Amino acid sequence: MIGVLRRDLALAMRAGGGFGLGLSFFLIVVVLVPFAIGPDTSILGRIAPGILWLGALLACLLSLDRILALDWEDGSLDLLATAPIPLEGVVLMKAAAHWLTTGLPLVLAAPVLGVLLNLPVPGYGWLTLSLALGTPALSAIGAFGAALTVGLKRGGLLLSLLVLPLYVPSLIFGAEIARRGAEGLAIGAALPLLAGISLASLAIMPFAAAAAIRVNLR
């Protein structure tokens, strides 16, 4: 199973692998926001947690269809489905590879981009923590969406529509943690709820995704 992870990471890093796609999209969104909103630093500071979370979520969404579509096109998915390693494990490793190449760079870049949006100082730690806790759920749910739409031509739009409602809880709690942190309020229940969503997604989604792949391969 580690082999699947290693191969996906190697593929993402090589030319045409799509590494940095999400990161550059995130960068573009965050850099453009001050131009669109205007230079009022108090407004920027207030919307910064939400914008950063939204940007990270959309950047994640952008690369979801690569999780499985490429393997379906070249026949690897058929072969992996008949291999001795469980398909659930394959999906989990693929979600992990997606997080390492998309989610983790976003987590690391967010505090830097927070400066551009005048994020209040107490918010940096909470923003990073909430993204670190929340983005694994985005990758796991995304892998499920990719499994549902694998084999569909131009399935990207359908994938986004299927996945977005499932992303909403992570977005609400993640942005809430960052906002409360930035305003110096108590974080409260949002943190355990976000962590709970991530853990539940990681536990359930590989099984749901593997079932969806088996149906789609028929």
Partner 1 sequence: MLTVSGLACARGGVPILENLSFRLSAGAALVLRGPNGIGKTTLLRTVTGLQPPLAGQVDLAPDAVAYAGHADGIKAMLTVTENLRFWAGVFGTKDLAPALAAFDLERLTDRFAGTLSAGQKRRLGLARLAVSGRPLWVLDEPTVSLDAESTALFAKAVQRHCAQGGAALMATHIDLGFEAESLDLAPYRARLPEPGADDFDEAFL
Interface residue list for partner 1 (CB under 8 A): 2-4, 7, 10-11, 14-17, 73-76, 78-85, 217-218
42 vs 82, beta carbon nearer partner 1: 82
Q: Which residues contact 134 (CB under 8 A, 6 or more apart)?
A: 53, 170, 173, 174, 194, 197, 198
User: What's the rounded Cα separation, in Å, for the pair 194 and 200?
Assistant: 10
147 vs 166, beta carbon nearer partner 1: 147
* Distance of closest approach, residue 20 Cβ to partner 1, in angstroms: 15
* Distance of closest approach, residue 123 Cβ to partner 1, in angstroms: 39
86 vs 192, beta carbon nearer partner 1: 86
2 vs 168, beta carbon nearer partner 1: 2
User: What's the rounded Cα separation, in Å, for the pair 113 and 55?
Assistant: 11
* Distance of closest approach, residue 18 Cβ to partner 1, in angstroms: 11
Evaluate whether 68 touches 143 at the Cβ level (below 8 Å): yes
* Distance of closest approach, residue 84 Cβ to partner 1, in angstroms: 5
Report the phi/psi class of residue 75: left, alpha or beta, with left for phi > 0 and alpha for psi in -120 to 50: left
